Amino acid sequence: MSDPQKAPDQEPVTHFGYQNVPESKKAAKVAEVFHSVAAKYDLMNDLMSAGVHRLWKRFTIELSGVRPGNRVLDIAGGTGDLTKQFSRLVGSNGEVVLADINASMLKVGRDRLLDLGVAGNVKFVQADAEKLPFPDNHFDVVTIAFGLRNVTHKEDALRSMLRVLKPGGRLLVLEFSKPSNGLLSKAYDTYSFSLLPMMGKLITNDAESYRYLAESIRMHPDQETLKDMMASAGFERVSYHNMTGGIVALHRGIKP
């Protein structure tokens, strides 16, 4: 959600972590972060979450209801964790599109999946979530995992996802959220702003990118706010499931 603090004749600004930047600059700044971390992204995910991110993604796949023959769009698909599983589920008559705005992440995902022999029913598309280059009513399921918080205009992205879904299609948003317990929240803050940049420095030689990732999580809408945003975009039966004490939440909505 952008924060249009705008003086007369000036471009609106939005948040990039805890900084305010012109809206037109945010996408490029986010791209710099992911260009920097792409090569070690999977390793850092395992270290940051102690491997628990794999359980979060497994639950997302289970709740997606993807079946053979479905057409699935995996936005901000990165290194292809969800795409790999969806490819297996949709089978030879289905299709999965791994979309990412970042060329470095898309290349890492494509190379990884090709190395694993996942190719026949998968397409790779560089795409902006706010302006998805796909027809109306095209996909049975759309997912975005750990990507929505980096989008400048989240409302526009949600409406774009709604447009490309078939009636009755499902959107699943897996994202860091707000811990439900005060003690857990304090411990999580200590981890995020002390240990996370340190790990980033050691593993990727880039503490600043991981400091941004920690800040971007804090600036992301909480569970109820995102639920309301999805409903306002046109989704029905919107619900969410907290995982790991609310550190992560999975939101689900249906296109009417």
The annotation status of 129 as a binding-site residue, yes or no, is yes
Measured CA to CA in angstroms, residue 220 lies from 32, 54, 195, 252 at distances of 19, 21, 20, 17
The annotation status of 79 as a binding-site residue, yes or no, is yes
Spacing of C-alpha 190 from chain mean position: 23
DSSP 230: H
The annotation status of 28 as a binding-site residue, yes or no, is no
Per the listing, tokens 């940049």 go with 197
Q: How many CB atoms lie within 10 A of CB 16?
A: 22
- How deeply is 234 buried, as exposed, middle or buried, from its count of CB atoms within 10 A (0-12, 13-18, 19+)? middle
Q: What Rg, from alpha-carbon coordinates, does the chain have?
A: 18
Spacing of C-alpha 94 from chain mean position: 23
Per the DSSP assignment, residues forming a β-bridge with 100 are: 126
Give the integer Cα–Cα distance in Å for 173 and 226: 9
Torsion angles phi and psi, residue 244, rounded to 5: 50, 50
Give the integer Cα–Cα distance in Å for 2 and 24: 11
* Residues of the binding site for S-adenosyl-L-methionine: 79, 100, 128-129
* Residues of the binding site: 79, 100, 128-129
